[in-house]
Structure 1
Amino acid sequence: MTGAQGIDAFLNGSFDIVLLDIQLPGMSGCEVLNRILLHKPEQAVVIMTAHGSTELAEELLIRGAVDFIPKPFKGEQLRRVLAIAAQRENYLVSNAQFEEKVLTIKRREEQYRELSDAHTRLLNHLSTVVMELDNNGCIKFTNKAWTQLTDYGNDETLGSSLADFAFGDDGNARRFVSHNLNLLLEGKITSKRIEFQLATKSNQPIWVEVQFNDLFRKGRVAGITVNLDNIDDRKKAEMQLSHLASHDTLTNLYNRHYFDKELTRLAQTARGQENIHALLYLDLDHFKVINDTQGHHQGDVILKEVADAIGSVKREEDVFCRVGGDEFALLLPRTQKDEARKIGRQICDLLQQ
């Protein structure tokens, strides 16, 4: 059979293995091999070679043949070579296929990098701090909003617990944050929203609202996601409103509304626990004359002086309130009558000076 006839037979049939003589009439074995692999790159081809052409056979192996057998050969020897070639065919991948797989992997890596970069850009443009904690509650990722809020860089943050950044020397805020983190890490809850004061790098307190959500993987808690927002302005406004709701704006004493609440509370404890409390009620004599003759501004000055004077002698547990124009009330928790009279005389003597 000539080389051309062999190629025609190959193109018109289907063969698991092609046994190719290195020397063919009309066409070289190299050319036949090239034509076969061009048509079917994964085709298994075994080269038959004479004793003096082993170097050429090795060249054909480099070109894509799977094995060669020198002539003359025995039947058993040929069967072993063909058996090995048949097994190798299952794992043979052509250069073109390999390059395509490499290109596919590279394209997927590039797509992943582009997606990852897009996510990073998105996270870094958020004003909300986004974190991921590991299964020990330590910070493993945070976006740029964290540094913008606290001035702490990644090298000062990663590996630490969020509780390490809680404000306060008494440790209460730190324990509060750690407790809630442990509830999630132990699987007792799946999410939690809390508020606490965060300490910046310059040890300035900032009120933050934090949303914790667990990361559940393979049947266990693998970590926690954190969304942290700065609510310092809102919290201060709430505290200011709360203060205004319970305090007199002129003297900064508790107002009538707060007095009524405390009086009710103390009355309930007196009934339930048999505690004795006292109440001193004070008003300023002839205060209207001062307002009418010297003006309300001078009257306000006197009211503040009275508030400061009584406030300087009251006990820490006492509740001092302005309940009317020139009327004041002093609640004395757990105080007997004699002690209350003594405090009342002390206040009167102070105001007469």
Structure 2
Amino acid sequence: MIPKHAGDRPHPEAAQFRAKQVEVLYDQLHVGLAATVAAASLLIAVFWAAAPRELLAGWAIFFMLTTILRVILAHRYARSPDRYRQASKWLMWFIAGTGISGATWGSTIIFLVPDESFVHAGFATLWVCGLSAGSVAALSIIKGAFFAFSLPAMIPSAVYLMTHGGIEATVGGAQLMFLGFISLSAVRMHKSLVQSLTLQFENIRLVDHLDTEKKKVERLNEQLEKKVLKRTAELAQSNANLERDIIRRQRAEQALFAEKERLQTTLHSIGDGVITTDAGGIVEYLNPVAEKLTGWSYNEARGLPLATVFQIIDEQTREPIADPVTQQLEKTPTTRVTTHKIVISRNGQEYAIQDSAAPISSRKGEILGMVLVFSDITKTRRREQQITHQATHDALTGLINRWEFEHRLERVLATLKAESTEYALCYFDLDRFKIINDTCGHTAGDELLRQVSEVLEGQIRKRDTLARLGGDEFGVLLEHCSLQQAQRVATAIHKAIEDFQFTWEGKSFRIGVSIGLVPITKASMGIAAVLKAADTACYAAKNKGRNCIHVYRETDKELASHRGEVQWMTRIHRALKENYFQVYFQPILPLATEKEEKCYEVFLRLEDGAGGVVLPGAFLPTAERYNLAVKIDRWMIANTFTWLAQNPEPLRTCFINLSGHSLRNKAFLTFIIEQLEKTHIPSAQICFETTETAATANLSCAIRFIKALKAHGCKFSLDNFGSGLSSFAYLKNLPVDFLKIDGLFVKDILDDPIDLTIVRSINEIGHIMEKQTIAERVEKEEVLKKLQEMGINYAQGYWISPPQPLTEMGSLQKVTR
């Protein structure tokens, strides 16, 4: 039970109090156990001769077991870290042990006292009463503990004695009276102990409280002393204090002024324009950037409506836009989000801006004014426009590029679905452009394209779209133009180009143009179909002899050959999809020394469906014309690399041909690097090969491509070297490892001294440039010996070995020629 005190209020630390009571019980347990052991020993001695030995021994064993368990309980309680938090559990165990002990002592009179032995009964009764009396001091701290011992110790024996009658009944009644007396004593003792324990807790709390109050009093005394000293000083020096107040106020005003100056300086120094208004949208402040962008000074703008000072329009529609401050104040919903805004200065100058507005609110949420912040992004907007222009225009000529041209053509095709308007497309290719580009260089070719662009722009209407579609190819999209009108425009373009004369370094050149004209109608099947028809018509114009115009018609006989190319396209697509291509190889024989590496070149073949193969000369021109060359090169790389990874063999270098289209394709370069990493074949084992014409057609792209692969360890070879008009001029800029001398010069070196001289010159210059040479089309033993005498590094041709399927690579080791 929780004790009451101080007006019968519950004890403030009931749990701690209970834990303390339990602790007192366990602290006294060892003394109580020692006393009961001594009493038990004396009782056993007294009853040894009178009591039945078996019962006395059983009682003694049970008593010792009970005592041992209580000792263990006391030991575990002392070692338990949670004994205070689990005081109720430990009290329960204690009361249980005490009750068992009491019952053990109460059983002595019932089981151990011999019949008709009043002396032993009196002794046992006296002994039990003595132990019960002794438990008053040890157990009354908790009444339950006392009664747990005394009741089972005395009541059973008292009842037992009273049932025998005579003097035993008198002794039993006296025993019960004694139980009552010691119970009253235990209750009083309990109250006394609880009060004492309560006083201990109260004293502790009182000491803490007094200590706290003492500290408070000391602090108050200190504060009071300070106040007295301060007040005394203030009264003694009132004039000085007044002066200090004045100084403090002056300092506060100076600090406020400094803060204002800092804010003003910040607003003056930031790069954004700042305008503040009141709740009615009247201008209160402009910083210098806002003054510059609006053209209004602070003094002029103050007090004016914001709409007068800050005038903005939509960059695209040129329509006025409500300023964000007005929209915030009037809570006007914006029907169209405008990202491109222009502020018009007072003097008419325009600035592209990015703006935002925020309210200045009171603590109650009332709008006191607005802050408008806007930044000048004119330069950024111009850069964006430049980027957009670069994305849609050709960098060399300034004309629309192919992407934008196709985009506009797509719009036209969409318009035709709803309108009955006539359109036409001119697709033309410059004739003799490559001759000028090869003989005079790329700079001359670029200048020719720029001048031609200017000529073309002078021949079309403003509404028409002129674009450079690639290389020396151009396109004109004629809007609202019949076929007859389109023919007149094409004729004018043809005549203007024919009359045009290009001059470079004192030399004059004339060029021509092959024009394909296609009407665009509702029946047109899409962008790809229109462009294909235009390209087909241009192809037909070239086949007629170039420098002419051809109008596309489905029934053209001139286009029959072109349809053959379309059939080749279908076969190429199918071969790529269903793996109808095959890889062949041809050995490249080292001539100069035995230390030269053994090499071989791989070739592409196409299954013809009848057990034979088709040579690449039949289908590669079509593939290159219709942008399939890159896909074929991808197939060749993937299959060759896979075979090399699965069949490591002693031939060190494998030559793989690449088209000119692949050299200009960044994605293809990435594909090669990925395949090298995927298959883990040594990159030094791979030598990529391209023709001299393909490499020089776009020299900068070729150089970047070659350097990128050489950085990964690959080698590079220039095929058909000597076929161009300016081979040596380009050679010093191309970082290749091998020169393959054109077979047209090699095959007749025994009979044609000019061919012999060309081959010898290419070999000598190649060696000076530290490049190895390979002679192609070696078809005679005498030619091979002559090449060996000249110091050619390698030879390749049918006399050495014809191309064989790559799966027969093992037979290559048997070549002994």
2:295/2:345 contact within 8 Å kept = yes
Query: How far apart in 2 are the matches of 1:285 and 1:324?
Result: 14
Shift of 1:165: 5.3
Paired position in structure 1 for 2:329: 185
Pair 1:153 & 2:293 matched = no
Amino acid at match of 1:352: E
Paired position in structure 2 for 1:233: 379
Pair 1:273 & 2:412 matched = no
Query: How far apart in 1 are the matches of 2:272 and 2:382?
Result: 19
Paired position in structure 2 for 1:26: none
Q: Which moved more, 1:222-231 or 1:110-119?
A: 110-119
Shift of 1:263: 1.2
Query: How far apart in 2 are the matches of 1:181 and 1:149?
Result: 17
Identity of aligned residues (%): 26
Query: How far apart in 2 are the matches of 1:193 and 1:163?
Result: 20
Alignment of 1:304-319 (within 5 A): 304-319=450-465
Deviations 1:302-323 (A, max 9, x none): 2112111111232111111000
1:138 to 1:313, Cα distance in 2 relative to 1, 3 A: farther
2:442 corresponds to which of 291, 296, 299: 296
Pair 1:224 & 2:370 matched = yes
Amino acid at match of 2:432: H
2:401 corresponds to which of 255, 258, 265: 255
> Larger Rg: 1 or 2?
2
1:201 to 1:132, Cα distance in 2 relative to 1, 3 A: same
Pair 1:206 & 2:346 matched = no
Q: Give the unaligned 5+ runs of structure 1.
A: 1-98
Paired position in structure 2 for 1:121: 265
SS in 2 for 1:313: coil
Amino acid at match of 1:209: Q
Query: How far apart in 1 are the matches of 2:252 and 2:366?
Result: 29
1:195/1:210 contact within 8 Å kept = no
Deviations 1:168-188 (A, max 9, x none): 8x9965712x36554333213
Query: How far apart in 1 are the matches of 2:366 and 2:491?
Result: 69
| TM-score normalised to structure 1 length | 0.60
1:302 to 1:248, Cα distance in 2 relative to 1, 3 A: same
2:354/2:375 contact within 8 Å kept = yes
SS in 2 for 1:208: strand
Paired position in structure 1 for 2:341: 196
Looking at secondary structure, tell me which structure has more helix per residue: 2
Paired position in structure 2 for 1:246: 392
Shift of 1:285: 1.1
Alignment of 1:1-353 (within 5 A): 110=253, 113=257, 115-135=259-279, 137-147=281-291, 152-158=296-302, 159=304, 161=306, 164=309, 166=311, 173=318, 175-176=320-321, 178=322, 182-189=326-333, 194-200=339-345, 203-215=348-360, 223-353=369-499
Deviations 1:103-161 (A, max 9, x none): 8xx68983755554443333233222211134554432112332455664213433253
Amino acid at match of 1:157: A
Amino acid at match of 1:208: I
1:309/1:350 contact within 8 Å kept = yes
Query: How far apart in 2 are the matches of 1:140 and 1:243?
Result: 41
Amino acid at match of 1:261: H
Paired position in structure 2 for 1:6: none
| RMSD of equivalent CA atoms | 3.7
2:273/2:289 contact within 8 Å kept = yes
Shift of 1:246: 0.7
Looking at secondary structure, tell me which structure has more strand per residue: 1
SS in 1 for 2:274: strand
Query: How far apart in 1 are the matches of 2:278 and 2:340?
Result: 21
Deviations 1:234-263 (A, max 9, x none): 212111111111111111001111111111
Higher RCO (Cα < 8 Å, 6 or more apart): 1
Count the aligned residue pairs: 252
Query: How far apart in 2 are the matches of 1:172 and 1:160?
Result: 25
Query: How far apart in 1 are the matches of 2:365 and 2:305?
Result: 25
1:167/1:173 contact within 8 Å kept = no
Shift of 1:301: 2.0
Shift of 1:352: 1.5
Query: How far apart in 2 are the matches of 1:117 and 1:281?
Result: 68
Q: Which moved more, 1:204-213 or 1:316-325?
A: 204-213
SS in 1 for 2:320: helix
SS in 2 for 1:284: strand
Query: How far apart in 1 are the matches of 2:448 and 2:424?
Result: 26
Q: Which moved more, 1:255-264 or 1:154-163?
A: 154-163
2:310/2:323 contact within 8 Å kept = no
